[in-house]
Amino acid sequence: VPEKITVRKALELLGYRIGRFPGEGDLLVLCEVGGCYSCAVKVDDEVKPSCITSVIDGMRIET
């Protein structure tokens, strides 16, 4: 995936469907500013909001 994008955008580019409402898509993204953690994923064994976490080469992401 390209550098300088969020984990959320990277997942979308890889085919994950992004939902704005519960039950919609593969990943729920409500606020898109990192405040609600609805889009939380595990990044290198730490829970992070995917909407504001930047992609870094070699990072491990678990959904």
What pLDDT does 42 receive? 98
> Quick check: 39 and 49 in contact, CB under 8 A?
yes
Q: What is the pLDDT of residue 55?
A: 98
pLDDT digits (tens, 9 = 90+) for 5-61: 999 999 999 999 999 999 999 999 999 999 999 999 999 999 999 999 999 999 999
Distances (CA, A) of 9 to 3, 4, 13, 16, 18: 11, 10, 6, 9, 9
- Helix intervals (H) in the chain: 7-13
Amino acid letter, residue 9: K
Please give the pLDDT value at position 18: 96
The reply to whether the predicted model has a pTM over 0.75 is: yes
Would you state the pLDDT for residue 27? 95
Domain 7-62 of CATH type 3.10.20.30: yes
| Three-state secondary-structure class, residue 9 | helix
CA distance 25 to 58: 26
